[in-house]
Amino acid sequence: MNQGDLFDAMHAVTAQDKEDGNLMKQIAVLASDVNVNVPGTYHVTYNVVDSNGNSAMFTRTVVVKAVAKPVQPVVIHPDADLIVVQPAQEKAALPKTGDQSFAPVGLVGLALLAFRGFLFWRKK
């Protein structure tokens, strides 16, 4: 539940047995420390007794959540002059990895391609 909500300790609490059926009127709240104005975890303890004198006790946990405070919207007057300042954009330099291994591989590949072309041309 949210902070400030109404709390009814008997809401959604039921009890029944085979002999007596519905025992809603016999349910009693033994203890409750619920404070809906302060966020936190609270407990409600119930007791119910049937016509044979058998009793059952149950403790219910109630969590009160804080309500977010509303944010006041910013009102901009239509006749106000707006100045938009944008930061200067700097060009980011690429990182230097020091990897130079592609150049020799490319040159060897071009040399093999030229040699194959030469052999192909010579075959004809």
Residue 91 to residues 51, 88, 94, 97, Cα–Cα distance (Å):
84, 10, 9, 18
pTM here is: 0.55
State which amino acid sits at residue 43: H
pLDDT of residue 100: 66
Residue located via tokens 């977010």: 68
pLDDT of residue 25: 93
Domains belonging to the chain, first-starting first, are 16-64 (2.60.40.10)
pLDDT in tens, the chain (124 residues): 999 999 999 999 999 999 999 999 999 999 999 999 999 999 999 999 999 999 999 999 999 999 888 877 777 776 666 677 777 777 777 777 776 666 777 788 888 888 888 888 777 6
pLDDT of residue 106: 78
DSSP assignment, residue 96? P
Q: Determine the Cα–Cα distance for residues 42 and 23; give it in Å rounded to an integer.
A: 25
